[in-house]
Structure formats: structure tokens, C-alpha cells
Amino acid sequence: MASLDAGGIATSGGVRFLGQRRYYWRLLIRGAALLMVTLGIYRFWLVTDVRRFLWSNTEVAGEALEYTGTALELLLGFLVAIALLIPLYAGFFIAALDLGILGKLTGILAFAALAVLGQYAIYRARRYRLTRTIYRGLRFHQKGSAWAYAFRATLWWTTTVLTFGLAYPFQLASLERYKMRNTFYGDLAGSFEASGLILFLRGLPMWLLFFAPLALAIRVFIGLDWQALVDAVAQGGDDVMSKIEGGNPGLGSAIVFAMLMGGASITLAALLYPAFQTLILRWWSSGLRFGDIEMRSHLRMRHVYGSYARFVGYASLFSIAIAVIGTVALVVADALAGFAKVDASGQITTTLVLLIGYVITALGFSTIYRATVLLSLWQLGMESLQLSGLSALEKVKARGRPSSAFGEGLADALNVGGY
Amino acid sequence: MPDGTEKPYAMNFGAGIYFDGMTSARHEVGVELTPEGLKISGHDGRLWAQWPYDEIEELAAPDNMLRLGRRGSATLERLEIRDPAFAAEIDAEAIHVDRTGALQRRQRMRVIGWSVGATASLLLVAWFGVPAIAARLALVLPVSVERKLGDAVDMQVRGVLNTGKNDAAFDCGTAAAEMPGRAALDKLMRRLESVAALVIPLRTSVVRRHEANALALPGGHIYVFRGLIDKADKADEVAGVIAHEIGHVAHRDGTKAMLEGAGLSFLFGMLLGDFVGGGAVVLAARNVLQSSYSREAETAADAYSTDLMNKAGGDARALAVILEKTGGATEPGTQILMDHPETKARIAAINRLAAARPSAPLLEASEWAALKQICAGS
């Protein structure tokens, strides 16, 4: 890794991550505790702390990044987003009361509108994060229309769903091209050069592995005697099931086979997920360009699997602890409820214990996930980068203004947020 | 690391990296602590910047570096100091630079204090505010809106209740053999409704569900399950339960519950955000809160029922009788009417309220027999 000491800029260089895991764990655990007592209001401060930590400990060609966003900006953006969403939700609610065609369509329309709005929010949130990212005294910024992006992204998602995911590589490439050609570091324009076809070819084996068991199951079902089945159901009566069985000796085993294949598919998906993530991260970061600056990623699959293994380890330990503490808490709550005679308050106490237990469990897993997988992905993703053409860094000029945090707030309210 | 007790200007010159905020060029500079402020100059003697001490701010940086900027500057000019001793010197001079983190901790404590306060206020709003608002809103809601609301709920409820396993229609009282039963029910309803004098016209249906139960929807729709009629030995027992449901309609309980549900899911879901994918938290919180609302509503509806039955001349204690019979039922789905852990307390309260006065059955024996057959089928 060519880090530089003094003077000019090496033409190629790497990225270093200096953050300490211990510090990050402390930050996240304290954040989780505060999230709980503030019912989540603390998240604006936690997110800001996390970003400050990640950004400022990431050193690109010898210079650390800087995050200048503040929690108050995020809070304000969130409040503005809420002010926009309240009338929207109220409108959906009133429309849903209509008994005619409008009422029936409201659900679909609301889903579509919120999906587009979610993509809009993602683009605006990216703009906020970029304009709060400072490197060598200059900020990044993003142009382009968030609505144009939202419609593009919605169309692509629809295509991807309709093609069972086969269009996903092309979606990623197209959306990333749009984002990157509107992304600037000072006056240095970004672009995205990775090809969707290459990702498609590399990802195809995984796709086949996932869908092959499902396809086998479907084939067995197609082979059944459907006419006999329909007849049996149409006849009705008390012993429909036995009639179905009689007419179709293969049905029982077909169902068992389908369940086995479904299980195989899910297991394969879980096992392949880290590989899939590595593939995409490597492909994506190798396609990023800023002017003449090119990036190349050497991300190792086994490192990513390692971070997931750490997650599984910590999560298992945490599960055991929660099971022990939870049992004790429930027994105590039960005893207390019995002591106070069984009435409403006893029921509420038990419910509250379960509720708090659920929140602690969920926060615990999310904290472990952030401290193991997400931090590792950031670190591995960054440290595996090799940059070339860095002499361009000598003469970039300042451009761009900070944008509002409205997009972040909207993404938060719609639950589509990222880092 | 040296602290602030050292003599000032023990070391008033150090090295740094400077970015002017106009271009990305990296400048190695010498930094001098002068009485007026920080003087940043290049090795060639060029003066890059001069920052008064009270305009210097500390910015996010890795542990091994002090990163400074100028407050209120139009550009993002940055000065980076790597030497910890020299960084401590600057820290001692610049009032807004605080590397011990005490300032930040104090701000953080303020944030935590305010968020905990906001949380307490939200919980109070959920506990007292939402039911109060829902109760007032439900009373001023025009009947036409309430009926619309009820129709929307009706579709959902029917979808849940009607499992479609029956051969006959889901509604009883439509087939020829069931007509006399329907007529008896209509007579009973006319009697109760004329005494109740509601602003909302009632619509009552008996449906094919085997649980001993009944429920009232917003907008005056009352469902009586055939299981209830099967369990009842007297017409007044059925009438008492229906009167209880009329109480819910009169008190607008269904509408209140809907408005409460909407308010709570807004409060907990949207405002607080999905910090742990917490749809389940919202649901559980709603259940805890709403079950405490509904307890009061049940007591009020019981009181309404005894009052209505007394006024109609029926046996107000019949409600207690059927409650006793069904209270121990363990079938699933009985929760809707039997959503009361304190069934015993309710029975006692009903018997206390319902004065032992002479009463006449609300239906003739023949009419009661017909009502019993309302779900007899075609």
C-alpha cells in the first residue's frame, strides 16, 4: 500500500481504515441503550456518530475523509418529511374509505406512490451525504433530478421482479451510471464504468443454484394429474383429502419434495449471500471513476465469510444470554402477577416484559450486525481498493453547496435509509 | 499527553498540512502561535491564512490528528496537525477546541435529557391524549362518515369471520325456514331501538359462527353469532347481549377504537421510526394500551345494557346469566365479547345495577322458539 510521506502525490495509492473495533462497539452499545430509553429519537445522533467514525477513520491516499453533517440537520429533515407525509397518509386513509373502485385501488396506488417516494428519498439522501463528505478541503456534490432517478429506479425494480432477479445486474449498472455521472468531487466529474453483462455472467451460477431446486419442485407438480385433483375438490364432501390422495398417489410425496427443495433453496441462499455481496461490492467499486482516477477492488470472499462467521458467533452467545435472562424475567413477572392476584395489571406486566425483551433482542442483533458485518464490509471494501491516476487530485477546484437533509428525513420516515 | 497547565507558548511553532478550500492541493505549512492567532505560512514564506483563536473550530478526525477549520468561513479550509504536543498547545489557546471532550459530553447529556423528556411526553400523549382526542372526535364525527367507516370495516370483518366452510349462506334468516326467526329478531330489535333512541340506525345480522359471541362495528352494524343463540335459554339473554352491543354503538366505541388505533400507530410507527424493524413493537404497544381502553368501554356497555333492558321492561340480569354460561368458554375467538379477565366482577356489577324488578320476557315463547331456529337452514 503506497501511503505517502511528504510532497507531491503518488500516481497510485490505497485506502486505509484506522478505526478501532473496541471504540465502535462502545459507540454502538451506548447508542442502543439510548435508543431504547428515548424510543428511537436518539437515532439521529447515533447515525451521525457512526458516520463521523467511519468517514474520519478512512484515509484515501494519505488523507482522511471528513463527515460534517449534524444530528440537528437530520432531525429537522425528518420533521419536514413528517409534515409532508401526514397529509399524504390522511389522503390515503380517506380514499380507502371510499367503497367504489377508488377505495379498492387505494392500496395499490398508495404502495406505488410510496415506492416511488422511497426511491426519491434515497437519491436525495445520497445528495445530503455527499455534500457532507469533505476530502482535502473540498466537498462532494450530486446533481441530477431525484424524480427522474425515482421513476428510473421504480421501472428497474419492476423489471427485476418480473424477471425473477435476472435483470438485477443491469438495474444496478444503469442506476449506478445515473448516480455516478451526477456525482462530483469539486469540479471532478464521476462516472461508472462497470458492465451489467459481466455481473450478470458472474452472478448467473448463483442464480441457477438458487432457482434449480424450485424449478425441480415445480416440474414435479406439473407432472401431477390435475384433472383428477380438480374433480376431487369439485365433488367436495367430508373426505376431500382422502379422495385427492386416492386420485393422486404422487401428491403427498410431491408436497414433501417441494418442501425439501424450498428448504434447500433457502439454505443455499443463506450460504451464498456473503459470496453474492462480495461479488457485487467488488464489481461496483471497480467501476467507480472520478475524472482520471480509477479504482480497482481486490476484495477477498473468505474475508467477507469471516465477518459473517464472527456475526454468527456473537449472535449465538447473545441468544443464549437473552434466553437465560428472559426466562428469569418471565418467571419473576409471573410470580409478581400471581402475588397481585390475576387481573389486568398482571397481564400488562407480562406483556411489557415481553415487549422490552423483544426490543432488547432486536437492538442487540442489530448492534452485533453493525459491529461485525457492516463494519467489516466498510473496512474490507475500503482497504481492498487500489486507486490510480491520483495526480488529478492536485488541481481539483471547489464546487457545490451543501443540500438539505430532507431526503434523509424522508428515507427515515419511509424506512429506506442506509448507513 | 500534556495538559493545559504547561507554560503557554512552550512550543509556538509546528508543522501542519493546509488545504485552502479552493483547490484540492495539499500544502505543507509551518504554523505559528502568535498573540493574534494562528499564522499559517508555506515553506517559501507565503502567508496562507491567519486565524484568530476564537474562530478556530475542531472537526471530526482520526485519533492521531487534530483537524481544524475556521468558523463561518465561506470555504472548507482545513489545517491538520499530527504532532500531539503541538496540538495540545493549540487546544490550550483556542477556546472552541476541546480535545478532552468535556464540551461534547455536556452537549450530549443535554440531548439525552431532552430526548428522554420527549419520550415521556409521547407516552403521556399515547396514554391520555390519544383516547381523549379519539373520544371527542368520535362524538362529533358525522353519522354519514361513521357509516362509511363502518362499511369499510364491515368488509374486512366479514372477510375474517366468513371462512366459507358452510354450505348455507353466511347470514342466517334468509332462507324460508328461517324467516320466522328473522321476524322475531326484528321485533326484538324494534323494541330495543325505540327505547334506545339512537342517532344511528342499527343493522343486525345473525351469522353462522359457532362461538357464543356478538360484536358491534362503527356505524351501527351488530353481528350476533349463532353460537350465542344456541347457548341462550331465554330471549332476554340474547337481548341483554344485543343491548350491550347497542351500548357500544351509542358510545361510539368502535369508532373510538379505530381512531385510537390510527393515532397510536401514527405515534409509535411513524414518529418514532423503525429503528429495529419494530412493527411488532407498535402492535404490542397498541394491544397493551387498547386493552386498557376497552375494559372501561365494556363496563360502560354493561351499564348501558342493564339500563336499556330495564327501560324496555326486560330482565336486565339475563346478561349476567349468559355471561356466566359463556365466560368459561375456551373456544378461540370468544375474546371479542369475552375480552374480560374480570368476568366475575362484571357479573356482580350487572346484578348490582339491575334492580330486581318484575319483568316480562321481551319475546313470546313462540317467537323465542322461532329465533332459536334462525340458522336452521333451508
Chain segment A25-84, per-residue pLDDT in tens:
999 999 999 888 887 788 899 999 999 999 999 999 889 999 999 998 998 998 898 888
Q: Give the C-alpha separation, B222 to B245, whole Å.
A: 7
Where in the sequence is the domain holding A260, given as residue range(s)?
200-286
The pLDDT of residue B329 = 46
Q: What is the pLDDT of residue B290?
A: 59
Whether the per-residue pLDDT at A234 is higher than 80: the answer is: no
- The CATH label, of 3.90.550.10, 2.30.29.30, 2.40.50.140, 2.160.10.10, for the domain at B13-100 is 2.30.29.30
Q: Could you give the CA distance from residue A69 to residue A128 in angstroms, rounded to a whole number?
A: 8
**Does position B83 have pLDDT exceeding 70, yes or no?**
yes
Residue A288 has φ and ψ, to the nearest 5°, of -80, 135
Q: What is the pLDDT of residue A321?
A: 94
pLDDT tens sequence across B307-341: 999 888 888 888 888 888 876 443 333 344 444 54
pLDDT tens profile A95-154: 776 666 777 777 788 889 989 999 999 999 999 999 999 999 999 999 999 999 999 999
On average, the pLDDT of chain B sits at 81
Output the pLDDT for position A238. 55
Q: Domain-by-domain residue ranges, chain B? A: 13-100, 122-372
3-class DSSP state of B374: coil
More confident residue, B10 or A386: A386
The larger pLDDT score, comparing residue A9 to residue A318, is at A318
Which of the 8 DSSP states describes residue B177? G
Of B67, B274, B341, the CB nearest to A347: B341
- Are A305 and A386 in contact by the 8 Å Cβ rule? The answer is no
How far apart CA A42 and CA B272 sit, in angstroms, is 10
Report chain A's mean pLDDT, rounded to a whole number: 86
Question: Is A176 inside any structural domain?
Answer: no
Residue ranges of A 43-102 with Cβ closer than 8 A to chain B: 43, 45, 52, 55-57, 59, 63-64, 66-68, 71, 78, 82, 85, 89, 93, 96-99
Q: Give SS3 for A142.
A: strand
- Report d(CA A58, CA A60) in Å as an integer: 6
pTM of the model: 0.78
Q: Is residue A403 part of a domain?
A: no
Q: Residue A281 falls within a domain, yes or no?
A: yes
CA distance A355 to chain B (A): 7
Question: A35 — contact with chain B (CB < 8 Å)?
Answer: yes
User: Is a pLDDT exceeding 90 seen at residue B174?
Assistant: no
Residues forming a β-bridge with B299: none
Which secondary-structure segment (H or E) carries A366? helix A344-369
Note whether B26 contacts A99, CB cutoff 8 Å: no
pLDDT band at residue B217 under the 50/70/90 scheme = confident
DSSP H or E stretch at residue A326? helix A301-339
Residue B87, helix vs strand vs coil: helix
With respect to residue A186, please indicate whether it lies within any of the assigned structural domains: no
Q: Is the pLDDT of residue B280 over 60?
A: no
Among B82, B141, B276, most A C-beta atoms within 10 A, so best to mutate, is: B276
- How much is the average pLDDT of B131-140? 85
Residues of B in contact with A393 (CB under 8 A): 24
pLDDT of residue B139: 85
- With beta carbons under 8 A apart, name residues in chain A contacting B145: 97
- Give me the mean pLDDT over the B44-49 stretch: 89
Q: Which of A54-58, A180-184, A258-262, B257-261 has the lowest mean pLDDT?
A: B257-261
d(CA B145, CA B262): 16
Q: Does A396 touch chain B (CB under 8 A)?
A: yes
DSSP class of B23: B
Region A403-415: mean pLDDT is: 82
- Verify whether the Cβ–Cβ distance B118 to A55 is below 8 Å: no
Which residue would you say has higher pLDDT here, A368 or B176?
A: A368
**How many residues are there in chain B?**
378
Three cell numbers, residue A386: 487500489
| Cβ atoms of A380 and A303 closer than 8 Å | yes
- Which residue intervals of B125-266 are DSSP H helices? 130-140, 143-161, 179-196, 226-231, 235-250, 253-265
Whether the predicted pLDDT of A5 surpasses 50: no
DSSP 3-state of A127: helix
Q: Name which of B246, B185, B191 is nearest B215 in CA terms.
A: B246
Name the grid cell of B248.
Answer: 357500544
Do the domain assignments include residue A372?
A: no
According to DSSP, residue B7 is labeled P
Q: Is residue A250 part of a domain?
A: yes
**What does DSSP assign to residue B361?**
-
What pLDDT, on the 0 to 100 scale, is given for residue B328? 44
Contact between A342 and A333 under an 8 Å Cβ cutoff? The reply is: no
What mean pLDDT do residues A261-277 have?
A: 92
| Contact present, A373 and A308 (Cβ < 8 Å) | yes
pLDDT-based confidence at residue A276 (cuts at 50, 70, 90):
very high
Q: Residue B165 pLDDT > 70, yes or no? A: no
The residue behind cell 340480569 is B317
Find residues 172-201 of chain A whose CB sits inside 8 Å of chain B.
185-186
